[in-house]
Amino acid sequence: LFQLEMEADALVNFQHYSSQLPPFYESSCHILHVEVLQQLTDLIRNHPSWSVAHLAVELGIRECFHHSRIISCANNRENEEGCTPLHLACRKGDGEILVELVQYCHAQMDVTDNNGETAFHYAVQGDNAQVLQLLGKNASAGLNRVNNQGQTPLHLACQMGKQEMVRVLLLCNARCNVMGSAGYPIHAAMKFSHKGCAEMIISMDSNQIHSKDPRYGASPLHWAKTAEMARMLLKRGCDVNNTSSSGNTALHVAVMRNRFDCVMVLLTYGANADARGEHGNTPLHLAMSKDNVEMIKALIVFGAEVDTPNDFGETPAFIASKISKLVTRKTLLTLLRTVGADYRLPVTQGPPSEQCSSTTHHSFSLERSQPPPISLNNLELQDIVHISRSRKPAFILSSMRDEKRTHDHLLCLDGGGVKGLVIIQLLIAIEKASGVATKDLFDWVAGTSTGGILALAILHSKSMAYMRGVYFRMKDEVFRGSRPYESGPLEEFLKREFGEHTKMTDVKKPKVMLTGTLSDRQPAELHLFRNYEAPESVREPRFSQNINLKPPTQPSEQLVWRAARSSGAAPTYFRPNGRFLDGGLLANNPTLDAMTEIHEYNQDMIRKGQESKVKKLSIVVSLGTGRSPQVPVTCVDVFRPSNPWELAKTVFGAKELGKMVVDCCTDPDGRAVDRARAWCEMVGIQYFRLNPQLGTDIMLDEINDTVLVNALWETEVYIHEHREQFQKLIQLLLAP
């Protein structure tokens, strides 16, 4: 068993052992094996302060617990940890022993150890949820007891991420609303990014989604460290702009922690990119020190103003100008300048040290050496001063109804899949500059594919900022897997946004048309989904009436979501919607067809004697989804090969040719724009084509946040570079 060096030690040990061993001898039906004895003596040596009950738990022999001496020690906590045998059993996860302790020994479940932890705390830290279940069968105050660290068993389970434990605790009616030292259990789950635990708590008590922690007054969303955790809360309806005690939103925290993915989720769920937090800092102020260009771009494209001063009168650019690392400083200043950042001298001409110290008031330290004070003569600062404040609207007008206008305005939105985000960004800029919602700026809206969806969003008064968030959120679901994608997510999205039973004519203004391609015939024909009656055609029918082809659905019967689905049925991306394919096959840029339709509509009105209702078209605004960079093509040659090398070349040529044909068919820029411009100029219509040049070729089904944020960034740069054109457009749109 073991060997001793000194006789005196042997004597002491003998006395100790002779008092500990008998209950095991006496309660056993058999002679104890040498192995059991060895284990027993080891335990005694290692835990000299344990009672025989503790030893029995560790040994795991059930018969022991009927012995009177062990029973008498059932609640003994006179040991180093101050834990009872029940604590040990719970930690060990031995359900049988636990039953013996509770039933025969009458062990109490609310006894705490030196850390203030009950058996429930120990069970949570074990591996067997069944133990917890057994404990929970009897109501006990120990279930919600707070330990010395200020944690209930639920806190502990959430922190450790033990979903099964959380589930059992909740089933035993453990309270979610016990305030711990760091907040409620959900805060622990969030802090340690245990999604399942958080979800269960919210399911049990939905109020927990808004709960504040005691130290920072922060909501669970503030504590989210990952995109997934944030998304989980937001999907369940938590307030994305909830503020902590210091006035910071979750976005502030995510920026300070340099969590780009979290930032994206918050922004796409409607976080206010311009929210003023502690010391009046916006997230952009905080982002300046993170050296994360992606995050800065994301904040700006989602609406962060680049020249908002904080409580010290510092703008983000000013803060950037104080960054000690030269490369970073120049990068950030250049970045801000490209979108029209303005330099404003601090309101308070305080000493630099005070300005520098402003950020140290943040609840989280910058953990970075302070940049040295720099002269106000810094070149960048001098340059910035002269940049115009083009991104501020010169005036704000109240909403105008189209009845006051003497001429019609037409808005045309190209197709382009997820690149519809570019259109959204352009529309947000127009709305911001004009102070008027898109719906009230235009009398006609034409859209193809993603442009069609946005046209319907405008018709149904959805804000473009909201649509921007939705696009970012939906893209991962809509474009999941490989092509062709399941239609389910897209259709669910459309039904949710527009209603499952909404008809096209339910909302009549502005007039909206979506392009679709009738693909049940060759040649295919363009079909317009309208929220008004189609103009009657007076010209001879192009084809003799084909009795076998079904006529289209009337606008008053046409479901909105189905029209959107049809317009966006891009071949090989989604399956056709019945007989409809994406309108982009015939009119990816719908301007020419919209003008044709308006002309025919007006002619029809005149023929019906309603000439007084006819208004001339005066403005056409055509928004693109971004122009891909032009690249050289080396070979579109398709020929009969005479050797293997030529075979490879002709196969490559055929592939390139196929791509070129699709491009020629669906290019919304190029000829369509030249034709529309010439048409408008001939007729005396003001024509605006807004289509940013993108730096990379972005696919219709792109889902990478960084790529998309960059596209929006390039759109913002485009808007700034063309600010004069924008201002002219706004003036024209607002003129009576």
Q: Which residues are catalytic?
A: 449, 582
Angle between helices 450-459 and 420-434 (to 10 degrees): 30
Distance CA 54, CA 43 (A): 10
Angle between helices 260-268 and 227-235 (to 10 degrees): 20
Considering only 234-242, 424-432, 460-468, 521-529, which stretch makes contact with its own copies by CB under 8 A?
521-529
548 binds its own copies per the rule CB under 8 A? yes
464 contacts: CB under 8 Å, gap ≥ 6: 424, 427, 428, 431, 438, 454, 457
Check if the beta carbon of residue 289 is closer than 8 Å to that of residue 323: yes
524 binds its own copies per the rule CB under 8 A? yes
Taking the complex as a whole, how short is the minimal distance between the CB of residue 88 and its own copies, in angstroms? 56
* Contact residue for its own copies among 18, 406, 634, 642 (CB under 8 A): 634
* Contact residue for its own copies among 667, 706, 723, 732 (CB under 8 A): 667
Q: 3-state class of 624 per DSSP?
A: coil
Near its own copies in 259-288, by CB under 8 A: none
728 binds its own copies per the rule CB under 8 A? no
CB-side neighbour CA atoms (13 Å) of 683: 17
Taking the complex as a whole, how short is the minimal distance between the CB of residue 490 and its own copies, in angstroms? 15
* Contact residue for its own copies among 139, 660, 704, 735 (CB under 8 A): 660
Tokens representing residue 536 in the block: 């009657």
Check if the beta carbon of residue 383 is closer than 8 Å to that of residue 340: no
* Contact residue for its own copies among 46, 353, 406, 544 (CB under 8 A): 544
Distance CA 231, CA 38 (A): 55
x/- contact string, 478-497, with its own copies (CB under 8 A)?
Answer: ----x-x-------------
Taking the complex as a whole, how short is the minimal distance between the CB of residue 667 and its own copies, in angstroms? 5
Cis peptide bond N-terminal to 523, omega within 30: yes
* Contact residue for its own copies among 26, 42, 78, 663 (CB under 8 A): 663
Taking the complex as a whole, how short is the minimal distance between the CB of residue 459 and its own copies, in angstroms? 23
* Contact residue for its own copies among 175, 344, 462, 677 (CB under 8 A): 677
x/- contact string, 4-43, with its own copies (CB under 8 A)?
Answer: ----------------------------------------
Taking the complex as a whole, how short is the minimal distance between the CB of residue 256 and its own copies, in angstroms? 38
What are the φ and ψ backbone dihedral angles of 170, each rounded to 5 degrees?
A: -65, -35
Considering only 16-24, 262-270, 659-667, 700-708, which stretch makes contact with its own copies by CB under 8 A?
659-667
* Contact residue for its own copies among 219, 358, 434, 519 (CB under 8 A): 519
How much is the CA Rg of the chain, to the nearest whole Å? 35
Strands 525-530 and 511-518: antiparallel
* Contact residue for its own copies among 235, 496, 508, 659 (CB under 8 A): 659
- Tell me the one-letter amino acid at 22: P
632 binds its own copies per the rule CB under 8 A? yes
Taking the complex as a whole, how short is the minimal distance between the CB of residue 217 and its own copies, in angstroms? 51
User: Which contiguous run of DSSP H or E holds residue 197?
Assistant: helix 195-204
* Contact residue for its own copies among 30, 137, 404, 542 (CB under 8 A): 542
DSSP 116-153: S--HHHHHHHSS-HHHHHHHHTS--GGGG---TTS--H
128 contacts: CB under 8 Å, gap ≥ 6: 93, 94, 95
Q: Of 16, 711, 679, nearest to 301 (Cα)?
A: 711
Check if the beta carbon of residue 564 is closer than 8 Å to that of residue 498: yes
Strands 617-623 and 686-690: parallel
- Looking at the Cβ atoms of 113 and 669, the one nearer to its own copies is 669
Check if the beta carbon of residue 508 is closer than 8 Å to that of residue 531: yes
Near its own copies in 692-721, by CB under 8 A: 693
User: Which contiguous run of DSSP H or E holds residue 196?
Assistant: helix 195-204
648 binds its own copies per the rule CB under 8 A? no
x/- contact string, 592-631, with its own copies (CB under 8 A)?
Answer: xx-xx--xx--x-----------------------xxxxx
Considering only 53-61, 245-253, 287-295, 679-687, which stretch makes contact with its own copies by CB under 8 A?
679-687
x/- contact string, 559-588, with its own copies (CB under 8 A)?
Answer: ------------xx--xx----x---xxx-
Taking the complex as a whole, how short is the minimal distance between the CB of residue 543 and its own copies, in angstroms? 4
Tokens representing residue 94 in the block: 């031995």
Q: Of 111, 100, 109, nearest to 53 (Cα)?
A: 100
Taking the complex as a whole, how short is the minimal distance between the CB of residue 200 and its own copies, in angstroms? 36
- Looking at the Cβ atoms of 481 and 736, the one nearer to its own copies is 481
Angle between helices 195-204 and 227-235 (to 10 degrees): 20
503 contacts: CB under 8 Å, gap ≥ 6: 555, 556, 557, 558, 559, 560
664 binds its own copies per the rule CB under 8 A? yes
- Looking at the Cβ atoms of 375 and 545, the one nearer to its own copies is 545
Taking the complex as a whole, how short is the minimal distance between the CB of residue 574 and its own copies, in angstroms? 10
538 binds its own copies per the rule CB under 8 A? no
Distance CA 432, CA 440 (A): 13
Taking the complex as a whole, how short is the minimal distance between the CB of residue 648 and its own copies, in angstroms? 16
- Contact residues: its own copies, CB under 8 A: 482, 484, 517, 519-526, 539, 542-544, 546, 548-549, 571-572, 575-576, 581, 585-587, 592-593, 595-596, 599-600, 603, 627-634, 636-640, 657-665, 667, 669-671, 674-675, 677-679, 681-683, 693
